[in-house]
């Protein structure tokens, strides 16, 4: 059992899928939350969770929106202990079938959201001499899944941001890690699996355990690296992947 009691956590991309599961796990572990998403459903989630939680609706690839998010957290709670950069999602298709728009969207959603959030939150963490940054990356960066090149360019940037920031802030009580899932059974993925969709089956085929991860399995690792217990873990990309890459 990890201990997040009383910790103040920002979780991005929390309206649905893995981000929602992370918010539910953090609430159960006693954290107080600032949730953010493009999708207004994040407001209903904040109201329903069994903890103190507030929500911001906006596009986190825009710096001024992220500044508002940090301001909301600081005014409401006076500190920010944990930042979970979960906002993202792939536009998964063969590289030459991307358009300039889908390439930009892929980088905006996955890399700019994480970059701006780190850039705007870190001054508070430095002031506190305490912080836990947990990025949600992707195991496809390691195993080179088909059709993932553009997405991997974005998530590879997130993995690289992790090692660089971890080193830069290592002596200031701040850890920076990435949790890298393989395919996760979010409602969208599960629907395709239930339909026995051949496109999604190929991504399951590389997982030795023969099944996607659950959202709770990803949230569990995020909760651990966000906790005080993980005080000597930094600069790591930790796969939660049923063995789809090893080592």
Nearer to ligand NAD, 8 or 154 (CB): 154
Residue 23's nearest CA partner among 58, 82, 31 is 31
Give the DSSP H or E segment for 72.
helix 63-77
Q: Starting from the edge strand earliest in sequence, which strands make up the sheet with 131-136, in order?
A: 53-57, 32-37, 8-12, 82-85, 131-136, 174-181, 237-240
Q: Return the number of the residue (87 or 161) whose C-beta is nearest ligand NAD.
A: 87
CB of 23 to ligand NAD, least distance (A): 11
Q: Which residues bind ligand NAD (CB under 6 A)?
A: 13, 15-19, 37-39, 59-61, 86-90, 108-110, 113, 136, 138, 181, 183-184, 186, 189
Which residues contact residue 127 at a Cβ distance below 8 angstroms, ignoring those fewer than 6 apart? none
Which CB, 61 or 124, lies closer to ligand NAD? 61
Separation of alpha carbons 235 and 145, rounded Å: 23
How far apart CA 125 and CA 182 sit, in angstroms, is: 30
* Maximum alpha-carbon separation in the chain: 51
Rounded to a whole number of angstroms, the minimum distance from the CB of residue 107 to ligand NAD is 11
Residue nearest to ligand NAD (CB): 17
Q: Which is nearer to ligand NAD, 62 or 126 (CB)?
A: 62
Backbone phi and psi for residue 88, each to the nearest 5 degrees, phi listed first = 165, -140
Min dist. Cβ of residue 217 to ligand NAD (A): 12
203: its two tokens: 């991504």
**Active-site amino acid positions:** 151
Give the span between the Cα atoms of 127 and 102, in whole angstroms.
38
Rg (CA), the chain: 17
């Amino acid at each position: 059992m990890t201990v997040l009691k009383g910790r103040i956590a920002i979780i991005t991309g929390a309206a649905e899928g893995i981000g929602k599961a992370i918010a539910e796990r953090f609430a159960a572990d006693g954290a107080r939350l600032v949730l953010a998403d493009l999708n207004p459903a994040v407001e209903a989630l904040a109201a329903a969770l069994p903890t103190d939680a507030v929500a911001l609706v906006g596009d986190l690839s825009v710096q001024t929106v992220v500044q508002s998010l940090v301001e909301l957290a600081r005014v409401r709670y006076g500190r920010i202990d944990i930042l979970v950069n979960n906002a993202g999602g792939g536009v998964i298709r063969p590289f030459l079938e991307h358009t300039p728009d889908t390439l930009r969207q892929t980088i905006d959603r996955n890399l700019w959201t994480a970059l701006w959030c780190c850039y705007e939150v870190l001054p508070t963490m430095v002031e506190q001499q305490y912080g836990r940054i947990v990025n949600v990356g992707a195991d496809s960066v390691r195993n080179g899944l088909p059709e993932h090149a553009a997405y991997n360019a974005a998530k590879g940037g997130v993995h690289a941001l992790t090692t660089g920031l971890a080193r830069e802030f290592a002596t200031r009580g701040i850890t920076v890690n990435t949790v890298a899932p393989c395919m996760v059974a979010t409602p969208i993925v599960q629907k395709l699996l239930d339909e026995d969709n051949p496109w999604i089956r190929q991504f399951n085929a590389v997982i030795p355990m023969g099944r996607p991860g659950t959202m709770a399995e990803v949230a569990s690792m995020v909760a651990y690296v966000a906790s005080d217990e993980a005080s000597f873990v930094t600069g790591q990309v930790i796969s939660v992947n049923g063995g789809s890459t090893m080592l």
